[in-house]
Amino acid sequence: EPEVTQTPSHQVTQMGQEVILRCVPISNHLYFYWYRQILGQKVEFLVSFYNNEISEKSEIFDDQFSVERPDGSNFTLKIRSTKLEDSAMYFCASSSRGIGAQGYTFGSGTRLTVV
């Protein structure tokens, strides 16, 4: 069964450093998403991406965040200058249809720890 692959599974970084979280969506999917879950809290929507541009973003997704689909297969989330409060599990998802939940496939997540 097709799956969404995320790398790395765990990333430790120093505060102020830039990190890039990588995702390989399902090959025929057109819509891509990032969600995150701070430990003990809710899974929160960050951003959706379609046709090489952001289609929707939450208020969490501020100027320190960016997304990119650099080569037609990878979908990356960049955090420019990490803060302690960015420590969380980050989930990538893709779907063949629109922003709704029908047909979402999630990756297994990247646990980001900022020290």
**Binding footprint of another protein on the chain (CB under 8 A):** 3-4, 6, 33, 35, 37, 40-45, 48, 56, 58, 91, 93, 97-102, 104-109
Q: Output the smallest distance, CB 108 to another protein, in A.
A: 4
Q: Output the smallest distance, CB 14 to another protein, in A.
A: 26
Toward another protein, which CB reaches closer, 18 or 56?
A: 56
Toward another protein, which CB reaches closer, 82 or 110?
A: 110
Toward another protein, which CB reaches closer, 79 or 109?
A: 109
Pairwise CA distance, residues 88 & 67, whole Å: 17
- Give me the half-sphere count of Cα atoms (radius 13 Å) on the Cβ side of residue 91: 16
Q: Output the smallest distance, CB 63 to another protein, in A.
A: 20
Toward another protein, which CB reaches closer, 2 or 16?
A: 2
Number of Cβ atoms within 10 Å of the Cβ of 77: 25
